[in-house]
Amino acid sequence: MIRILSSPSGFHVSGSSSLPPNEQRILHALVSSPELYTYPNEQQLLFEIKLRSQIVQASVDLAKSRAQFAIFRFSRCNSQFWLRDERGGFQLRPDVLPSDAINDIFVNSELYTFECATAIVIVFYKAVLEGIDVSAFNRLFAHLLLYDWHTDKDLGIETKKGEHFLPGDCLYFKNPDVDPLTPQWQGENTIYLGDGLFYGHGIGIETADGIIAALNRRRKQWATKSAYLLPHITQMNFAYLSQFARRFDELRLPLDRLPWIAGTLGSAAFLYR
């Protein structure tokens, strides 16, 4: 269920334009979830829908790219945009715009190798770049470092317990019986794409069973424990980032075309199936 705290008089249950199909699927997932999602206004809800859609798209684009999987020791980057440090992380060059450096990972992907946590962070930064004003992105992330789960505080990465995930959420598959000779496969950070599919760098786009099967192939001899999905969800701070959003060009939620119920209670509007 979705609860929007704006005045019902300002809530648009129909409009002249609707969301693209990929964003409609995310709105459908939000409304259908057993969790209650609360937003101060329709614009913040729209921003989260769009940013989730951009996370999914960035994941698909990275999966299709020529960037390869490697442990930190063997990581590579384009030296025109990044300085590789002694840990295998990528530090933004001082003479380069953050937006240009993130885009280069997708343009010149053959020059990059990194592990799965860094891949998720790259996806998050790319999605935010597509969703907020470019000048704001360059100001917020002026000192980018891509290394494992190191992220700028303005990205607002948080992990919470939960089993009801949505497209654009990051989820972790744990491999408890990993082969000690390949500890990099002790788990896989993934982005849920929707329709039962996940993207994990080094594995690709797979179902949950496909991710688990790939990890199980990297277990120690005589392993008895299967890989499994942890009930943890990692997200960015959508609410904080929404203040830097690009214009929505008068998009409205297409509620008149979908099988949902829109109701009000006091000053709040509710959407539910």
- Transcribe 76-111 into DSSP letters: B--TTTEEE-TTS-EEEPTTS-HHHHHHHHHHSGGG
Burial grade of 180 (CB within 10 A; 0-12, 13-18, 19 or more): exposed
Q: Is the confidence at residue 2, as pLDDT, over 90?
A: no
Given a cut of 70, whether residue 261 has pLDDT beyond it is no
Return d(Cα 13, Cα 4) in angstroms, integer. Answer: 12
Least trusted range by pLDDT, from 82-86, 202-206, 220-224, 262-266: 262-266
Q: Round the average pLDDT of the chain to a whole number and report it.
A: 89
Q: What pLDDT score does 203 carry?
A: 97
Q: Which residue has the higher pLDDT, 262 or 62?
A: 62
Supply the pLDDT for residue 263: 54
At residue 268 the predicted structure's pLDDT band, cuts being 50, 70 and 90, is: low
pLDDT at site 1 = 72
* DSSP labels, 208-243: HHHHHHHHHTTBPTT--PPPEE-SEEEE--HHHHGG
Least trusted range by pLDDT, from 88-92, 190-194, 253-257: 253-257
**Could you read off the pLDDT of 135-176 as tens digits, one per residue?**
999 999 999 999 999 999 999 999 999 999 999 999 999 999
| Higher per-residue pLDDT: 19 or 92 | 92
pTM of the model: 0.91
Q: What is the pLDDT of residue 5?
A: 75
Instruction: Note the pLDDT of residue 16.
Output: 34
Q: Which of 9-18, 68-77, 166-175, 181-190 has the lowest mean pLDDT?
A: 9-18
pLDDT of residue 264: 53
pLDDT band at 14; cut points 50, 70, 90: very low
- Sign for the pseudo-dihedral over CA of 25, 105, 229, 242: negative
CA 191 vs CA 26, 53, 90: distances in Å: 14, 11, 21
Q: Is the pLDDT of residue 257 over 70?
A: no
The pLDDT of residue 259 is 52
Q: Tell me which of 57 and 273 has the higher pLDDT.
A: 57
Task: Note the pLDDT of residue 15.
Answer: 40
Distance in angstroms (rounded) separating the CA atoms of residues 112 and 192: 23
267: confidence class by pLDDT, cuts 50, 70, 90 = low
Residue 141: the pLDDT is: 97
* Tokens representing residue 87 in the block: 């840990």
Strongest mean pLDDT among 32-36, 207-211, 244-248 = 207-211
